[in-house]
A and B are shown apart, each in its own frame.
Chain A
Amino acid sequence: MTSTLRRAGRRLRAVVGLAVAQLRRSPGRTALTVFAVALAVLSVTLLASLGVGVVQTGEDGLDNADRDIWVSSDPIDPSASGTANPIVGSHALAAEMSERDDVSSAAPIAMHDIYVGTESDELERTSAVGVHETHDGFGFEEGGGFETEMNHSSGEYADGERPSEPENEEIVLDPDTAEAHDIDVGDTVYVGTSRESAANHEFTVVGISAYYSQYLGSDTETIPLTDLQAIAGTTGTDRATFITASVEDDADRDVVVAELDEEYAAYDVRTSDEQIGAMFEEQPLVLASGATLIGLAVVGGIVLTVNLFALVAYQQRDELAALRAIGLSRWVLAGTIAVQGLVIGVLGGILGLVLTPLLAAGLNYLASSVIGFGKLLQTPLEVYLLGLALAIVVGTVVALVTGWRASRYARIQHLSG
């Protein structure tokens, strides 16, 4: 038994030696296939890092907003919800929620498309988010923010007597918008939801920040909610896109969410984590594109490597048949080709993993200089493990397929001459 094992061990070592010898004699082919596997691994690790980074960035954003609970209605589609604002009577709803003992505060957020410009006949279409205040971590490039009354549904405003004209008339502009119109802090701009109405409303630029632009992917200005509702004419219906709420420190967030969800069945009540998930679910195209890219890269890497080695097996079919004829078993012959595939898989995997942090850093630099995100790609240990697993899977698939092809050639029929 032990001698059988010893012989098998020697055979295995010899097979590995043969495979390595073959790889070393064809450095060009070896490099190409290692590169192919590395590309497949890289595409997975980088896209996964991007996914992790985007979710993390989103969560950080929501954390900055310091809101535990997000209430929305209907699917959140940024391209449509800017005008849809499906929550009606939002201030009353927020007030009702904040009356609970376990909720410390609640406030609506609205989104609208607006026109903004320094001249009433030179207006640019852009987006606006209406909030009651610009919170901490807003990242002002210049100037500061604004703060309005937390909840316009309390006290004298409770009966829908909110001002129907803008009262604060302050705006925080996106840097691109400010630059395009050569606007500085302290300047006055026209703001409206249509070209005609914009001339009627003059706002003072109090700050410049890209905070909401980052999340919405387009230039976005920030306006006090009541002012935005006033210029949009939704003061009466009191429309909003979200209601955000914070829970008391000693309250269990998940319990509050569950209770609110039950109480307000018409709305979707989510924790901030779930909200991120829901936002991504609303982007099936993005997710599908990512999955497709990964799939293509993996399949491409496997196909290229398998093809190259199948070609090698085909080129050497006479030799394989001859070796079979002189008594080498099919397993030994298939093994020499298969081990080459496995070695390629592992080498490519290692290369891919080594390149991952370098390329991630490069892409992060690019992302921060182009769109202003600091750390868009984040690569936790799990992503590296995923890449390594993929490399081993690719190596094994390559090994199985090419070994099988090689063993098919190891037949007397291929022995010519």
Chain B
Amino acid sequence: MSNHALRQTTASDDDSSTDDVESPTAVRLESVTHEYGANGGRGRSGDDRTVTALRNVSFDVRAGDIVGLEGPSGSGKSTILHAVSGLLVPSDGAVELLDTDLTACSNRERTRLRRRHVGIVFQRFHLLPSLSARANVALPLVQAGIPRAKRRERAETLLEKVGLGDRIHHLPGELSGGERQRVAIARALVTDPDVIVADEPTGELDTATGEDVLDLLMDIGRDRALLVASHDESTLAVADRVVTLRDGRVVSDGG
């Protein structure tokens, strides 16, 4: 079940090397430019009202790195997260996920890579209201055709890990905001991904709950590559490095 390719490599590196051996690169963006409306928009010509979301963005994230993305609304934070998850293909440049160039992959391949290697945490949780916490967490495993007993076992383990061992049968509606985000984090981790992208993970939570959720994310995401987009200073404070964006350009790469 483990899709976590990088952790094993890092671990073996750690065994045989000193601490400052560089971790492998999990995500690399190379001169990425993206224009909305340029390659989408059925029945609309390319030069009709295109919006440039990213301009020549390059940076990389290593396994074990926590990288914050900061910038005002519309600066391109979400677009970067979507590009890293293979949810969109940028108009220009390359996006590498574990040394595979996503821009060269077919839709199906990108979906498979995302399912295996990327965990996504949304601002608004996006849990199915009619399913229990356990069923929500187990959902991503359905696609892989994993047997139900194993799905449940894995989901329960993760819910215990995020401190919701006594809430596995609760519906999202019966959980607090913080608890829902924990369920969403457990869901993002259920496939044991190498990369976790979180879009404003504390945006819907109060400060104290937000900090708890953040701690959890740091703890669980420790040996994975973690990209967090946020407006929130305290969220960004936990990052090893903060990439600042303005109008789709990188104005400061904390590294």
A285 proximal to B (CB < 8 A): no
B143 proximal to A (CB < 8 A): yes
Q: Which residues of A contact B112 (CB under 8 A)?
A: 327
Within 8 A of A (CB), among B108-162: 111-112, 114-116, 119-120, 122-124, 126-131, 135, 139-140, 142-148, 151
A416 to chain B, nearest CB (A): 8
Hey, what's the 0/1 contact readout for A20-57 against B, CB within 8 Å counting as 1? 01101110000000000000000000000000000000
B126 touches A322 (CB 8 A): yes
Hey, what's the 0/1 contact readout for A331-369 against B, CB within 8 Å counting as 1? 010000000000000000000000000000000000000
B38 proximal to A (CB < 8 A): no
Within 8 A of A (CB), among B20-39: none
Within 8 A of B (CB), among A144-160: none
Q: Which residues of A contact B142 (CB under 8 A)?
A: 10-11, 14-15, 18, 328, 332
B135 to chain A, nearest CB (A): 7
B85 proximal to A (CB < 8 A): yes
B87 touches A7 (CB 8 A): no
Q: Which residues of A contact B135 (CB under 8 A)?
A: 18, 21
Within 8 A of B (CB), among A274-322: 316, 318-319, 321-322
B interface residues, how many (CB within 8 angstroms): 38
B122 touches A329 (CB 8 A): no
Within 8 A of A (CB), among B57-82: 82
B182 to chain A, nearest CB (A): 16
B114 touches A327 (CB 8 A): yes
A319 touches B127 (CB 8 A): yes
Name the interface size band of chain A. Answer: 20 to 34
A8 proximal to B (CB < 8 A): yes
Residue of B nearest to A26 (CB): B130
B224 proximal to A (CB < 8 A): no
B202 proximal to A (CB < 8 A): no
A328 touches B140 (CB 8 A): yes
Residue of B nearest to A7 (CB): B145
Given contacts A18-B131, A22-B130, A25-B130, contact A322 B122 (CB under 8 A): yes
Q: Which residues of B contact A412 (CB under 8 A)?
A: 82, 87-88
Selected from B87, B128, B130, the residue in CB contact (under 8 A) with A323 is B128
Hey, what's the 0/1 contact readout for B216-250 against A, CB within 8 Å counting as 1? 00000000000000000000000000000000000
B145 touches A6 (CB 8 A): yes
For the complex, give the distance between the alpha carbons of A8 and B188 in Å.
23
B191 touches A318 (CB 8 A): no
B126 touches A329 (CB 8 A): no
B87 touches A10 (CB 8 A): no
Q: Which residues of B contact A (CB under 8 A)?
A: 82, 85, 87-88, 111-112, 114-116, 119-120, 122-124, 126-131, 135, 139-140, 142-148, 151, 171, 187-188, 191, 199-200, 203
Q: Which residues of A contact B (CB under 8 A)?
A: 6-11, 13-15, 17-18, 21-22, 24-26, 316, 318-319, 321-323, 325-329, 332, 412, 415-417
User: Can you list 27 A-B pairs with a CB-CB distance of less than 8 A?
Assistant: A6-B145, A7-B145, A10-B142, A10-B147, A11-B142, A11-B143, A18-B142, A21-B131, A316-B128, A318-B126, A321-B126, A322-B120, A322-B126, A325-B87, A325-B114, A325-B120, A326-B114, A326-B120, A326-B187, A327-B114, A327-B116, A327-B143, A327-B191, A412-B82, A415-B122, A417-B123, A417-B199
